[in-house]
Amino acid sequence: MTAPGPATGEMMTPAAAMEHAKRVVARMLGKDAFSRWLGIEVVEISPSRVACAMTVRADMLNGFGVCHGGATFSLADSALAFVSNTHGRVAMSIDNQISYPAPAREGDRLTAVAQEDSQSGRLAFYRVEVKNQDGVLVAVFKGTVYKTKTDHFKAGE
């Protein structure tokens, strides 16, 4: 069983696709200063699913003393960026929508699971769920990305 190779359209084995996905995500996270400041860790990677985790710190709180919506959004958005780029072509977020069913609090361990809903041609659609350590849903996120024709890794890199 094989999957289309990201850079050339050639077929890759599932193991190779997984290896490639990990390489793309490691490279992106290595450059991603904002995700590193937030303490975001990538805890699961596969070609159509990425999970990221982050612990809510005091410097992520808003004027009401709960986690700033922007910090929660950033965790979900990073998970989206990683999963949508695993295929190997540079993908850019176009539209995101987020809802907050429950607040996140200082010390909470949040996990964002980003899962591909659909993809075709230049567009792909994702759902991200953010839950706390007790499994409570604190955010639901929907993201659409545009896939450019640029590969993450060119020959010689």
Q: For a copy of itself, which is the closer residue by CB, 12 or 131?
A: 131
Shortest Cβ 136–a copy of itself spacing (Å): 9
CB of 31 to a copy of itself, least distance (A): 5
Cβ proximity to a copy of itself, 11 vs 123, nearer residue:
123
Q: Where are the alpha helices (DSSP H) in the chain?
A: 14-31, 33-37, 69-85
CA–CA distances in Å: residue 63 to residues 1, 32, 51: 52, 26, 28
Closest CB to a copy of itself among residues 34, 153:
34
Cβ at position 75, least distance to a copy of itself in Å = 8
Enumerate binding residues for a copy of itself (CB under 8 A).
27-35, 37-38, 58-65, 68-71, 73-75, 77-78, 81, 90, 92-102, 117-120, 122-123, 125, 127, 137, 140, 142, 144, 146
Residue 122: how many other CB atoms lie within 10 Å: 12
CA distances from 90 to 81, 111, 149, 151, 152 (A): 9, 24, 7, 6, 6
Backbone angles phi, psi at 7, to 5 degrees: -85, -35
